[in-house]
Amino acid sequence: MSTNSFMSKRGSRGFTMIELMIAMLIGILLLGPLAVILANNSQTRYELENSLGQIQNARYALQVLGDDLGNAGFGVSDNITFGPVLTSLPDSCNSTEDILDDEVYQQFQFPVQGIDNLAEPPEDCTHMDNFPVCNDVEGDDVLPCNDLLVIRRASTCAVGEPQCDDFDDEIPHIQHRACGSGPSAFSIIDSDGSVFTERLPPCSAETPIPAPIYRLQNRVYYIAANNDPGDGIPTLKRIDLDGGSVALAAGIEHLHFEYGVDTNDDGQPEKYAHAGLLTIDEWKDVVAVRIYLVARNLQTSGGPIHNRSYDLGQETVEPSNGAFKRQVYSTTVRLNNIAGPRE
């Protein structure tokens, strides 16, 4: 047998058990850190997605509230006859069964109205207490210790325009009289479509141009304990004059407002106070609103418990469940339709 044949047979006999075990150990030592890195990356991605969702929900909540506050009082001019001057704040909510009452029209003396630290639905807010026209919003859906905000205005698009609601004879609308003078120049508020017969200049009877009709809006913002029934996700919700409840932004856990009051009729706020400190006359002089909210992640975090308190202007809150990451967001909104004419 030659030397080459002997070496060839010896070299092809394979690995020993010890060599295989050593190779497996080396593989485990290499894969272990990789598995840890992969797990950490997955956790980081999970936390990042949670935080991004929180930021998006909070920004959207501020945008919705800010846009609506910026339009508060829109389309409701001083030449509207409201009826007797109210000596107390109107009801925060209205159902479609109440919209024809004079009190509804009088409410538009107050483009903005609020309630501090809501513990349960107000007596007049039956929308929040299993009221049929409001999609059966349960009474326990209200998350206690949060503020309630009411915004009253006309729609920014006229009936019949693209992407605008059609005329609804169960909801009051407004039409401004551009023709005539004196008492006949007042605006019309009604839910009967047949009374809206006003025209735009040149006010020609031969070629009439109908004046636009706008739907009046009475919107109530509050924090609900659930997004969907029983899910335990605090959510910013809105109730409209037609009684529908709409979920706007999930994860909004605390909501607080401070109202800027113009005391010298210059369109600028001289003081800020929460709703419980304002008189009925001061409500008519609110020209700005500070919004504070606490947004939380929709899912719990795997890290340490976050037992913190959060400063919301003149109030401080301490959430009970520290397993969620939270953040405070705030902004100040000018009420252009109230402040602008005063400047």
0.85 surpassed by pTM: no
CA distance 9 to 136: 85
Average pLDDT over residues 39-52: 75
Residues in Cβ contact with 92 at an 8 Å cutoff, skipping those fewer than 6 apart: 113, 115, 122, 124, 125, 148, 150, 220
Q: pLDDT tens digit string along 157-178?
A: 989 888 888 888 878 888 887 7
Q: Side chain identity at 152, as an amino acid letter?
A: R
CA distance 74 to 111: 9
CB-count burial class (<10 Å; 0-12, 13-18, 19+) for 249: buried
In this prediction, residue 301 carries a pLDDT of 76
Q: pLDDT tens digit string along 301-324?
A: 766 666 788 888 888 888 777 788
Indicate whether 204 pLDDT > 80. Answer: no
pLDDT: is 170 or 224 the higher one?
Answer: 224
CA distance 247 to 67: 17
**Around Cβ 139, how many Cβ atoms within 10 Å?**
13
Q: pLDDT tens digit string along 234-290?
A: 999 998 866 667 899 999 999 999 999 999 999 999 999 999 899 988 998 999 999
Q: To which H or E segment does residue 260 belong?
A: strand 252-261
pLDDT: is 215 or 2 the higher one?
Answer: 215
Decide: 171 and 215 in contact? Cβ < 8 Å: yes
CA distance 179 to 143: 49
pLDDT band at 57 (very low <50, low <70, confident <90, very high): very high
Q: From the centroid of its chain, how far is CA 245?
A: 12
